[in-house]
Amino acid sequence: MSLSNTYENVVMDHLFKKDTALTPMSPISVGLLTADPGDSGTSSNCNEVPETNNYSRIVTIADNWNVSAGGIITNTDDLAFPGSTGSWGTVTHFALFTSQVYGLGELIIHGVLDVSKPVPSGYQVRFNSGQLTIALD
């Protein structure tokens, strides 16, 4: 089963505060994962990078997201994590959460990165504008 493109846009606009007809979720935070959380993953059990070595989720606001089109929404601005002060392991996935607090909130959406990336000390993970693409199909 798949949602129609029209309803995909309604859902995306709702999630990312682009539609006032529904109550948007706030905040939406971006996190990094070291493995696939699966659809049953939770905020506290999703293979998120450990909360050490300066790792924290990125909190986004509505203005950080474009209006969806074709069931796809992308980030308007660069989204940068703090620089690591030690290894974060190899990052393979990203996730969106309903809370900025590590281990809290709900896991909303997760996806695999195009390229897995080892994150050593002194490295900063960044999603450039338009690079983080969220799609419903």
Answer whether 30's CB lies under 8 Å from 132's CB: yes
Q: How far apart are CA 82 and CA 53, in angstroms?
A: 10
- 59-85 residue pLDDT tens: 999 999 999 998 899 999 999 999 999
Question: CB atoms < 10 A from the CB of 103, how many?
Answer: 13
**All residues at 6 or more sequence positions from 38 whose CB lies less than 8 Å from its CB, including other chains:** none
Asked whether the whole model's pTM tops 0.75, one would answer yes
Q: How far apart are CA 95 and CA 73, in angstroms?
A: 14
SS3 9: helix
- pLDDT tier for residue 23 given thresholds of 50, 70 and 90: low
Phi, psi of 134 (to 5 degrees): -115, 130
